[in-house]
Amino acid sequence: MNINIRNEESRDNRRVEEVARKAFWNLYFPGCHEHFVIHKMREHGDFIKELAFVIEVNGQVEGGIFYTHSKIVSEDNKEYKTISFGPVFISPEFHRKGLGKELITHSIEVAKEMGYRAILTMGYPYHYEPYGFLGGKKYNISMPDGKFYKGLLVLPLYEGALDNISGYAAFSDVFDVTEEEVEEFDKSFPPKEKKYQASQDEYEAATSMLDE
């Protein structure tokens, strides 16, 4: 298996959206919207082009990771710039082969070199703790509702990056998409059946789990 990680180029766009759609379909809810988010993200002011990576297996794109600007907003409304990744995905046929790990590790290293303060992301703690992410509560970073959730994960990118900083995480509005927009965009892809699967319940439970 010949693996190569490189920056996404415009020629990759459709393939990346197809792979993302395949990877996320019915995973968190019936259907998915990640392929549309990526499509929209490339034209958005929060998009960080230098941190958009694809992973090729034998010359074919089989996954990707995308970053946007985010921030921590303190009680006195001071803003501290951070970055966030997501969507991150690998073709279902290449799951459990360490490709996601290579993609995430590579992008974190580049983000460090670029001098960013910290990465905030939403996800399952067990996925991201191996990279050094900890729950937001450890850094006194909540969601905008002031609550600490287990799914909000934080990784400082240099020593002392988050010292004396507390507040709530604010993510890019590029993720705020409507059902109608997604439906319209989805018409340009081959039809796929939306249905319930168990992972949707797991996701529902994980996203609402508080870090007490």
Domain 3-175 of CATH type 3.40.630.30: yes
Cβ atoms of residues 46 and 84 within 8 Å = no
Cβ atoms of residues 31 and 24 within 8 Å = no
Determine the pLDDT at residue 206: 83
3-state secondary structure 85-116: EEEEEECHHHCCCCHHHHHHHHHHHHHHHCCC
Domain ranges (residues) in the chain: 3-175
Decide if pLDDT at 57 tops 90: yes
At 158-176, the pLDDT tens digits run 999 999 999 999 999 999 9
User: Which phi and psi (to 5°) does residue 179 adopt?
Assistant: -55, -40
Confidence grade of residue 153 (pLDDT, cut at 50, 70, 90): very high
Percent of the chain residues topping a pLDDT of 70: 100
At 196-212, the pLDDT tens digits run 999 999 988 888 899 98
Confidence grade of residue 2 (pLDDT, cut at 50, 70, 90): very high
pTM above 0.85, yes or no: yes
Cβ atoms of residues 118 and 155 within 8 Å = yes
At 75-112, the pLDDT tens digits run 999 999 999 999 999 999 999 999 999 999 999 999 99
Residue 27 burial class via C-beta count within 10 angstroms: exposed 0-12, middle 13-18, buried 19 and up: middle
The stretch 174-192 carries a mean pLDDT of 96
Helices 13-24 and 34-41: crossing angle in degrees, nearest 10, is: 150
